[in-house]
Structure 1
């Protein structure tokens, strides 16, 4: 940490350049996480269901599939990519957005995630400076980016990410990194219960499930990081974003579509993490008479 402080003091430009490169590289890894996590879960669930239905079920030998194996390859032609095809953002630009082998278009999603990761990482560094808060903020930011796109794709927020995120918030705040230990615990509990009560009320009056349990766990995790004082702001921001984008999507598709709420919670949580106190101070100090 001391070396980061010295670098920031002596050469801020180099400091932010290194942070930007770190964000790009992490964005490249996040693309793997976003693409493979739903496939890994689907494979696991399929295996468990077959075993439940048939206790004598013997799975066929398959190629190992996780976040590291198999090596990066083109999803169209399955050709293994060279290391220089995986340079974040620049490889996509040099290849004109096409596979080096089959010339099929590479989804714009990949460089977009890398660019978002870079920008968000630099912003966190700018807000917190070289500190433990900055390093922990990187972890929160990258996890929220992954959860946002996973939920957009699959409408599922994996426990394997939301629960460790909550545990990390409670652990970090046991040393009062962002808020007190008591506030972190209450933030976790209130964050979970607030959406759980909304879910139960909606289900009682309509007979339908309005959201998934992953949304409760994500808001609980954000509460563990920031305490209960930010939960109202997160819910307000996420609801506003969700309503605006939901109306736009309804106009485009002309019919109701399944709606993922997790991405808007993640976006609102990230905003509150960086500027929540300033937003609340402005609201209480200026917006109210």
Structure 2
């Protein structure tokens, strides 16, 4: 009888231990699967013209390329953001693929946070909002002939934020999809565009230094809203290293230097509910244990489809 009691007690303890086990690997796998499904769905929506800002971006770049033929190569490159060949979409594809290797992350908490971020970033409404940056760059290149979207006017934003006008294309500065911060011979960092985006140098007001941009930048969706979702851990680490290096240089001169994300800029209008509930850009790259629980009903295909259809209708309404 005693032996039977011990066996029952042992089995109970084992079941308890299993129930209290680490569920993070399972949650990562679930998010990875759902993120992959969302990216596939987003792919189809981009191909079929269901993302409003993507459609507008195609129209804007086509119109302006006929008027500014010398800038056509740059506009053609920006038009890729309306497709699956743009840097933001290809970044999501790469990030979800990298989730399979735990060695890409510091720990399970970071891997889980990245899995959730990719899942959220592939939301059609959030992605539609993200496209407001390249779309408004083209609008600014038109000198007001084409209207901005999801953002107040260039002049109003500059006045509200006390910012400097770096020229058309400034919304993309700081976004790792379009360039990176490089260190000059003087030890200071400056923005270097990738490939064809270097043509922005022709329309911007000189080189953009990290120290000046940090304190004088204007609003952009990526830097003030979407950075948390659209930045990988490696990219966030590179951004933080640039900040720490610049801060150290300023400290050595007895000066204070604040992060470019310490203060959010004003300028967004009519963003989706998904964007307004996004964690602040200033929290990107910070390490904290995820307190959120993965809701098991997310894995049900019916719920995923229902969520997707709601966001699709929202995009068509122009939100």
Query: How would you bin the TM-score normalised by the shorter chain?
Result: under 0.3
TM-score (norm 2): 0.25
TM-score (norm 1): 0.27
Q: Larger % of helix: which?
A: 1
**Highest relative contact order (Cα 8 Å, sep 6+), 1 or 2?**
2
